Copies of this chain bind each other. A is one copy, B any other.
Amino acid sequence: MLKAVTTVATVIGLVGLAGAALAATATTPAAPAGGADPLMEQARQHFKAIPAAIPAVKDNAVTREKIELGKMLFFEPRLSASGIFSCNSCHNLGLGGVDGLETSVGHGWQKGPRNSPTVLNAVLNVAQFWDGRAEDLKAQAKGPIQANVEMNATPEHVLGVLNSIPAYPRKFADAFPNERNPVTFDNVAKAIEAFEATLTTPAAPFDQYLEGKADALTDQQKKGLSLFMDKGCVGCHTGVNVGGHDYFPFGVVQKPGAEILPPTDKGRFAVTKTADDEYVFRSPTLRNVALTAPYFHTGKVWDLRQAVGIMGTAQLGATLSEPEIDAITAFLHSLTGQQPRVEYPMLPASTVATPKPVLR
């Protein structure tokens, strides 16, 4: 974490200077036809466009069969103890990959501890969950299935359901050929990860701009982009996902109020047990942020403009003017990409052997 903190401190030190020298995780693409203006060149130092192809995933070949199975599992409520919640309940593909709640509601109407992060482009994050405790999406997928405030299931329940429905073992055999016993909890997670790898949102106006289309952003959005870089927002929100790539303290300059940053949730500290990691979180991707209110890990801020203002105060020590907030917010709207097109999967019928829903 020390590296990341240092990075933020550097950013803070550079507020007001040009951001061109800051951490450039993106590689600059080959100059496209049409030439580039200085703002475009500067942006390419910090960001890169979402690739049109499905990203490769470590140790999990993204095959068509795995995607198809993973889509079924993503929408499969019978993976939960109650039979009510699927991945899509809290990562609704129709709602920007989130649920639009402060914090998610799960088994028994319990409220989860943190706001549901978007599944869109999550494959491009360095790690998963607000505190990065899952190294990838296959590790992440196992969490909510088992969390008692979410799907409240066990691996045994999940495998009991899948093995009771003949179509599933067949789909697993297709997705994981040459495995003796393909219906495993690990493979459930791998299939879900493969489907989620397809949930990228390319071709946002900002991507088009990075690719050389100078008029893909409005003048106000360009002003916002310029501010976003020059004020130092790029210190934590950079790369292909405009965030999601590293860990940073929330409230590095000035801690926001306890409603937004409650003292009881120390973020990544719970993962690393390192004092430096108190109130440290993985910076969220700002991709599709205009779709994913409410904001922050507590979900207490519903207005994107207000969230921008809070970030200025808390992270940059800067009081952004109203026109600055407007411009940055306009830029953030340019991060809304093409949403995935998904045909709703038909799930195979339960049998008499399928474990019954348990509501208590």
Residues of A within 8 A of B (CB): 75, 77-78, 82-84, 89, 92-96, 99-102, 105, 108-109, 111, 290-291, 293, 302-303, 339, 341-347, 349-350, 352, 356-357, 359
How far apart are A347's CB and chain B's nearest CB, in angstroms?
A: 4
Are B345 and A94 in contact, with the CB atoms below 8 A? yes
- CB-nearest residue of chain B to A93: B344
Q: Which residues of B contact A357 (CB under 8 A)?
A: 100-102
Contact with A349, one of B82, B83, B96 (Cβ below 8 angstroms): B96
Are A349 and B293 in contact, with the CB atoms below 8 A? yes
How far apart are A346's CB and chain B's nearest CB, in angstroms?
A: 5
How far apart sit A349 and B345, CA to CA, in the bound complex (Å)? 24
- CB-nearest residue of chain B to A90: B84
Q: Which residues of B contact A350 (CB under 8 A)?
A: 100, 293, 302
Contact with A343, one of B77, B343, B347 (Cβ below 8 angstroms): B343
How far apart are A79's CB and chain B's nearest CB, in angstroms?
A: 12
Residue of A84, A89, A343, A345 ringed by the most chain B CB atoms within 10 A: A84
Q: Which residues of B contact A359 (CB under 8 A)?
A: 101, 105, 109, 111
Are B339 and A342 in contact, with the CB atoms below 8 A? no
Check A346/B303 contact, CB under 8 A, given A78-B100, A100-B357, A109-B109. Answer: no
How far apart sit A347 and B108, CA to CA, in the bound complex (Å)? 27
How far apart sit A96 and B349, CA to CA, in the bound complex (Å)? 8
How far apart are A352's CB and chain B's nearest CB, in angstroms?
A: 5
How far apart are A288's CB and chain B's nearest CB, in angstroms?
A: 9
* Interchain Cβ contacts under 8 Å between A and B, 15 examples: A77-B100, A82-B101, A83-B99, A83-B100, A84-B99, A93-B344, A93-B346, A96-B349, A101-B357, A102-B357, A109-B359, A111-B359, A290-B349, A302-B356, A339-B346
Q: Which residues of B contact A102 (CB under 8 A)?
A: 357
Q: Which residues of B contact A352 (CB under 8 A)?
A: 302-303
Closest A-B pairs by Cβ, 10 of them: A109-B109, A94-B347, A342-B344, A291-B349, A339-B346, A303-B352, A344-B344, A83-B100, A94-B345, A101-B357
Are B111 and A109 in contact, with the CB atoms below 8 A? no
